[in-house]
Structure 1
């Protein structure tokens, strides 16, 4: 491949960016990208950009108005469920935007009072960040618990809204396991660990097991409780596994991540 044929790599500069299934308003969101994530530009349709997220390989269309730019190497990522951006290094400055958990940022300056200035000029409290060189959490359940009560959003994978496969993806991603943003594809992904059962029978459930249902997925909080993002409550909740299995009409698989 010549330099002229090399794909263009861009970076998300908006706090979050939806990925739609087609280049049109009003169509379903299939995933989203976070501030600082990079993507390969696959195609254009007017001001619409067809993007392949370089984090998980998900492909979708970015709407007009999504802020993008030349990639800058991140130094930190957001460690809390969300973190506010401020115009000055003080909590009294009215926030201008918010970033989600795992958003990637580049720190340009550190103030004496614990605040840091990003390369885009915004300030964020330093304790809301973690260096990109270290894992956010090695325990997926601990990560998933940060999202309790987060609203359910189809195609979401952020602290502002998340769906079932997005929750599992984010939880595993913080532990270094990259997977798809699709419950069906996650079920067939050996990166999530061995398949213990294809129907849930005979499993001694443990904290962290990934349980699949028809069109749904969740992560075990303990031997009997599922943590998941569900349209039943339109939020991230914990429920007895037996109740979810009955409502979903069965379990279709159980995987145990190897950490």
Structure 2
């Protein structure tokens, strides 16, 4: 059985790459597109009353299979997640030059922090920078529409990624918990793992069950160290060291730091004990 989260198929329409694997009335080749809004929800059906599966950030590329009634049925290029988003969130693909490296940053209406802001962007957003300017000693990077961002909040995509994904995850402490969230405005447990790893040049599946099934290698609890992952049914946490973990959770409704022992005791009555431990980064 193909996972509907990772394969684009419906009874009436499917990805041409799945021809021979699924039954559908039509098979189509996807069209490339790109997210042009700061954050957009990806839903299992074209219905705003439904909860979200995940989120896509500005500059993320997608494959578009269908457009109907203001909705687009897409598959994210980075992690292959499939779902529906508002068609207005998409635009023409352009190559990114920079990525946001802080949890949140503003786009100003010009190169001056005293100017009004146009919007805010999350870590992981990808932008095309066309110039730079300096005002009162602060350097700004400029967008083609005149928007400006503080340069120290971005890095060129050609630069080396962050060396430690756990340090990236720690930047999100106190960020609100959001089911399906994957941004500096709200994030869930597996979204925190995926986004932090992405900024460190590492790839991770989107959902915790996917991460538990195949991210890195399984280990024993006694071997836990910084960067390892602890899984419960429907939940994942990042070990900051041998005893302390960071996780986005519905208890504090934030990204929080907690000891593993305390979490096992607190979570156990409702979800049981951890289901596994994994080391996502290969030994060097």
Aligned residue for 2:200?
A: 175
Contact kept? 1:213, 1:245, Cα under 8 Å: no
Aligned residue for 2:12?
A: none
Aligned residue for 2:157?
A: 132
Partners of 1:204 and 1:41 in 2: CA distance: 43
Tell me by how many angstroms 1:257 deviates. 2.4
Aligned residue for 2:115?
A: 93
Is 1:58 the counterpart of 2:81? The answer is yes
Aligned residue for 2:65?
A: 42
Question: How do 1:239-258 residues align onto structure 2 when only pairs under 5 Å count?
Answer: 239-246=258-265, 247-248=267-268, 249-258=272-281
Residue from 54, 60, 64 that aligns with 1:31: 54
Tell me by how many angstroms 1:174 deviates. 1.8
Partners of 1:135 and 1:54 in 2: CA distance: 21
Residue from 3, 18, 21 that aligns with 2:41: 18
Larger Rg: 2
Tell me by how many angstroms 1:258 deviates. 2.4
Is 1:77 the counterpart of 2:96? The answer is no
TM-score (norm: length of structure 2)? 0.84
Tell me by how many angstroms 1:138 deviates. 2.0
| 8-17 or 114-123, larger mean C-alpha shift | 114-123
Partners of 2:89 and 2:52 in 1: CA distance: 18
Question: How do 1:102-141 residues align onto structure 2 when only pairs under 5 Å count?
Answer: 102-113=124-135, 114-141=139-166
User: Where does structure 1 lack aligned partners over 5 or more consecutive residues?
Assistant: none
Is 1:152 the counterpart of 2:177? The answer is yes
Q: Paired residues, what number?
A: 249
Aligned residue for 1:67?
A: 89
Contact kept? 1:229, 1:237, Cα under 8 Å: yes
Q: Deviations over 1:57-114 (max 9, x none)?
A: 11111035x4321101000000111110011110000111001001000001111441
Is 1:210 the counterpart of 2:210? The answer is no
Partners of 2:240 and 2:41 in 1: CA distance: 29
CA RMSD of aligned residues (A): 1.5
User: Where does structure 2 lack aligned partners over 5 or more consecutive residues?
Assistant: 1-15, 17-27
Partners of 1:42 and 1:135 in 2: CA distance: 34
Tell me by how many angstroms 1:28 deviates. 0.8
Is 1:227 the counterpart of 2:246? The answer is yes
Partners of 1:18 and 1:147 in 2: CA distance: 20
Tell me by how many angstroms 1:119 deviates. 2.5
Contact kept? 1:135, 1:174, Cα under 8 Å: no
Tell me by how many angstroms 1:215 deviates. 0.8
Partners of 2:228 and 2:160 in 1: CA distance: 20
Contact kept? 1:23, 1:45, Cα under 8 Å: no
Q: Choose between structure 1 and 2 for higher RCO, CA contacts under 8 A separated by at least 6 residues.
A: 1
Tell me by how many angstroms 1:6 deviates. 4.2
